[in-house]
């Protein structure tokens, strides 16, 4: 099972990958980064994507409700992933479930001309499931 660095390096092997990070969305800090940042600074990108992830995760409209109670299910992150499309790229944020109370996600920045969004979602899911956080 890969750690943070191995996971991010694997994400960078995807077609069109420009940069990747593991971000704690409660603090906005990057726990690991590789490649480029859309704004030239990984910490700024981490803080900005954390704001987006936090907003989406906290909105009741996106949180799945447990059928028996009708309230959001606290068993894990309420979202699987978020995709933001720009004129030049895709930003895929994949939430990572952990055995401890955490709020982390993988952020992959893809070039729109060369990236394969379906493949990126599939691979990020596998990477998130195999990621070992120490």
CA 114 to CA 25: how far, in whole Å?
A: 28
- pLDDT tens across 43-54, in order? 999 999 999 999
Is 75 or 117 the better-scoring residue by pLDDT? 117
CA 124 to CA 107: how far, in whole Å?
A: 9
| Crossing angle (nearest 10°) for helices 4-11 and 117-130 | 170
Whether the pLDDT of residue 85 is over 70: the answer is yes
Whether the pLDDT of residue 73 is over 70: the answer is no
pLDDT value of position 1: 47
Nearest to 134 by CA among 103, 110, 98: 98
Nearest to 15 by CA among 88, 102, 113, 99: 113
Q: Is the pTM of this model over 0.85?
A: yes
Domains and CATH numbers, the chain: 4-130 (3.30.450.30)
Distances (CA, A) of 125 to 27, 39, 44, 122: 23, 25, 24, 5
């Amino acid at each position: 099972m890969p750690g943070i660095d191995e996971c991010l390096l694997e994400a960078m092997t995807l077609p069109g990958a420009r940069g990747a990070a593991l971000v704690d969305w409660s603090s906005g800090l990057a726990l690991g980064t590789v490649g480029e940042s859309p704004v030239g600074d990984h910490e700024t990108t981490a803080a900005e994507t954390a704001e987006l992830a936090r907003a989406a995760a906290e909105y009741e409209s996106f949180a799945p409700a447990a059928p028996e109670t009708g309230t959001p299910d606290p068993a894990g992150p309420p979202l699987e992933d978020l995709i933001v499309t720009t004129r030049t790229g895709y930003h895929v944020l994949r939430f990572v479930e952990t055995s401890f109370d955490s709020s982390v996600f993988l952020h992959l920045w893809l070039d729109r001309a060369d990236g394969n969004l379906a493949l990126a979602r599939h691979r990020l899911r596998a990477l998130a499931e195999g990621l070992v956080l120490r």
